[in-house]
A and B are shown apart, each in its own frame.
Chain A
Amino acid sequence: MSLLERTGVAMTPGNIRTRKLSTAVVLGIAVAAVALAAVVVFGLGIGNWVLVVALGGVFYLAGVYVAASRVEGRRAARNRTWSALIHSACVLAILPLASVVWTLVSKGMERLDGDFFGSSMNNIGARDPEGGAYHAIVGTLEQVGIATVITVPLGVLGAIYLVEYGRGRFAAAIRFFVDVMTGIPSIVAGLFVLSFYVLIVTPWFNDGRPGFSGFAAALALSVLMLPTIVRSTEEMLRLVPGPLREGAYALGVPKWKTILRIVLPTALSGIVTGIMLAIARAAGETAPVLLVAGGGAAINFNAFENNQSSLALFVYQQAGDASRYAPARAWTAALTLVALVLILTIAAKLLARRNQLTR
């Protein structure tokens, strides 16, 4: 935001000029554009109201450009056109997103009952309208929980290394590859755990057969969560004021104790925010769970043995199911998943707002 807008000085380029296109003319152009578009479209019979709106928008832009360059000059006309385009980009983006939210709520409410949260898909055939996502919710919570337990110590310690100890090329390389790792596709993380854990490690304990499990999914989710947690923790640790550390050193506190007792608690709320965002992202991942957890219809509390499902995987499987009751289950599970993820995200953002360390 510029100084001009902040201070409310009235001399912006828009009103120094004396001659200005009046609002009435702009409105008139808009009405004429839509009318012209309607005549063209319905007259030729080449489309419906969507085309009228699209064509009307084009006519409006052209009309305003011509009128404004007559009255205000070409530069002001160009300004108007771009401003209109930027505003319409916003509208264009909000339409599909509103549609997503609307369908999610309207279709998701259909099966939102106690049965859905209290039963699994075990022994549910194509003709049964019952069935629920209890097993999937259990799977999601266990997998995300294990992944968090693995990743949080690793990620926070890694971030401490980058901020407090890391110097030179090695630390720079780690920092660079943390950023690169953020962009690793989730399916590649799934394939990695598949080729490493499921196909190589588990056959040792499993009579030579690969064993799919919720733990394998948790490992894949850890690979996805690690860079996010390292990155957000690193940023938070950097915000801790240097004098705090120096004060501790001056009192004779060793460095490791300074980090654990002074630096980490100061940055704690920010670190927790980052962790919650990472959890939210991991909870919505489908592809790695599909590859290494195997999915399953029954409730399985043991994450280390046998197939397990997850909410995201449940949505995917129900969406591909031929049963006519499956779509309702898929939408309700999607609504549950989005609610879970959004609650985590919003809580994280609210926590971040209370954080005293700001840039």
Chain B
Amino acid sequence: MGDTSPRSAETGTGGTLTTDGRRGSAGGGVPPAHTPDSPGLGGGGGLPRRTRFGMESGFRVLTLAAGAMVLVIIVAIAVFLISKAVPALRANTENFFTFNGWSPNGTEPRFGIAALAFGTVLSAVLALLVAVPVALGIALFLSHYAPRRIATPLGFVIDLLAAVPSVVFGLWGRDVFINPVRDFSVWLNEYFGWLPIFGGDGPFGRSIMLGALVLAIMVLPIITSLSREVFLQTPAMNEEAALALGATKWEMIRTAVLPYGKPGIIAAVMLGLGRALGETIALAMTLGITFDISANLIENGGNTIAANIANAFGEANDTGRGALIASGLVLFAITLVVNMTARAIIYRRREFRDSAA
């Protein structure tokens, strides 16, 4: 709004509505020699001089400080996590990145995030493999298939689901959803047990599969609502052109809607991935907390960085807390990279910026 030019920012008209802070200089007036315009035209000579400590600059600095707070917080997160993690990492007697276990509370602390990082990535990727096709299907249904009187309330319900706390999904996962998943695991084990991922001989249930499925249900609303927004933004001209050329509805979607929405879909998936990687409580409640790198999806087991923090925090001493903070730092770095990539993709296509809040 032209705040760079003193004329508009400093509110002309001879000081009828100026603030007290600027009264003094406005009353004194500025010598005509200082203004290039002739003082008779537009009251330029009566313009108050820009003061250093007026309300205007004060408010400006206030908002600037509030805005800069975001950067301060991000930097502070990194700084304080590092400062608390370093002593624990020094005390660690094993390699933090390759050791496979978590016992930081003894006199010889031994901990490493190998199994945790593996579990985090495995459960998040599995969750996305399940959630993304379904979410895109629902998004297409809402944007192109459903009649308006179904699409509006259904979209509203999907938005509400994004607000349901994760602890509720965790509770549902461990009390209710575990039964069908256990039955399914037993069935998979019986007929596909020759595959290593479905092998083992039980017990089944509190497994990576349960955690990943619960996670999939949780990230579904986010991916759905973002990609629905993107699909709705497809220019009607493109869709009509495809239909006019004789395309079927699916061909229209494939040739007009999906290519147009591709960056938005990628960004939505990345944001869902960021959410899945950082999810804590639902996984702490559904995974069977073990420390081994195993590709078996259905046997009790699995662990993630975030779930381990929630579970091990209660009995952690000083070094234990430092170790958990160190693992949190790794999680912070991973999610930061994922989110920054997603945002960079969104920013490249400015059209999607507003929808991806």
Q: CB within 8 Å of B: which residues of A?
A: 1-4, 12-14, 46-47, 50-51, 75-76, 78-79, 82-83, 85-90, 92-93, 96-97, 99-100, 103-104, 107, 153-158, 160-162, 164-166, 171, 173-174, 176-189, 191-192, 194-196, 199-200, 223, 226-227, 230-232, 235, 245-246, 249, 251-257, 259, 277, 280-281, 283-287, 290-291, 312, 315-316, 319-320, 327, 330-331, 334, 337-338, 341-342, 345-346, 349, 359
Contact = CB atoms under 8 A, between A and B. Distances in A.
A79 B248 contact: yes
Given A86-B140, A183-B278, A287 B285 contact: no
Contacts of A226: 69-70, 73
Contacts of B164: 100, 284, 338, 341-342
B77 A192 contact: yes
Given A185-B278, A195-B83, A254 B11 contact: yes
Contacts of B73: 181, 223, 226
27 contacts: A50-B180, A78-B248, A83-B249, A83-B250, A89-B133, A89-B136, A97-B217, A100-B217, A178-B70, A180-B343, A183-B278, A185-B280, A191-B81, A199-B84, A199-B321, A200-B80, A232-B357, A256-B56, A284-B163, A284-B168, A286-B281, A287-B310, A290-B281, A315-B168, A337-B165, A338-B168, A342-B160
Contact of B163 (A255, A281, A312): A281
B248 A157 contact: no
Contacts of B64: 161, 165
A255 B240 contact: no
B171 A334 contact: yes
A75 B71 CA distance: 53
Given A79-B250, A164-B1, A227 B70 contact: yes
Q: Which 6 A-B pairs have the closest CB atoms?
A: A185-B278, A284-B165, A89-B137, A157-B66, A161-B63, A183-B339
Nearest to A315: B167
A103 B10 CA distance: 62
A185 B333 CA distance: 11
Contacts of A76: 248
A179 B343 CA distance: 7
B295 interface: no
Given A2-B236, A316-B285, A334-B167, A256 B55 contact: yes
B210 to A, nearest CB: 12
A173 B248 contact: no
Contacts of A173: 71
B250 A342 contact: no
A166 B1 CA distance: 10
